[in-house]
Amino acid sequence: MVQALVDVEGVRRRLEEVKARRIEEAERLGIYGMAVLVATELGSRFGKVHGSYYVFPPLSKEEFMQDKERSAPLGIVYDDYGPNLEVWSRGRKVFAVHLGDITLYVPGSWVNDLVNLHKTAKAEAVRRRVKAEIEAIKEEARKWGIPLEELGLCGEEVGSGG
């Protein structure tokens, strides 16, 4: 009987070591940051009492309430109040963060999908930031009576589209 307890303890120790390595890998890859950016830049936003949910792929509130993101090739739910995060791949939860701690990381091909989506989200974040900055510059120029042409901003060229 004592031998069985020693084996169980050894197995438990090995399990904890593997989990620790996976957490280190997820941190090294920046999974959390990539998933948050994808959800906030490319997903839907739903307000709640405290904070918001961001859901990728973009869904209606009804679809979100039916957990439709879970069956997507890559689904992300980010609760910015927690901050909590879940990543789903084809019906299986593959990454989770609860109150800032990684509680699950299942490596797989979904990571490559996330990396590719992250590139798109990053470009969208830059585009949105530049557009907002240009609009702020235009507003200040108008306030000061400075023609946009004098600043190199001609007409509808930058930041005025939808």
In a domain, 34, yes or no: yes
| Domain with 128 in it | 30-145
Give the Cα separation of 51 and 60 in Å (integer): 18
Kindly report, residue by residue over 15-58, the tens digit of the pLDDT. Answer: 999 999 999 999 999 999 999 999 999 999 998 889 999 999 88
In a domain, 19, yes or no: no
In a domain, 24, yes or no: no
Measured CA distances, 118 to 56, 60, 128 (Å)? 12, 22, 15
Both structure tokens of 1: 């009987």
In a domain, 37, yes or no: yes
In a domain, 160, yes or no: no
Kindly report, residue by residue over 70-122, the tens digit of the pLDDT. Answer: 778 899 999 999 889 999 998 899 999 999 999 999 999 999 999 999 999 99
| Kind plus residue range of the DSSP H or E element containing 87 | strand 84-89
In a domain, 45, yes or no: yes
Note the pTM of the prediction, 2 decimals. Answer: 0.79
**Structural domains in the chain (count):** 1
Give the Cα separation of 140 and 89 in Å (integer): 46
Rg (alpha carbons) of the chain, rounded to whole number: 22
Kindly report, residue by residue over 128-144, the tens digit of the pLDDT. Answer: 999 999 999 999 998 99
Both structure tokens of 103: 């509680």
The pLDDT of residue 8: 87
In a domain, 2, yes or no: no
For the chain, counts of helices (H) and of strands (E)? 4, 6
In a domain, 86, yes or no: yes
For residue 128, the 8-state DSSP code is H
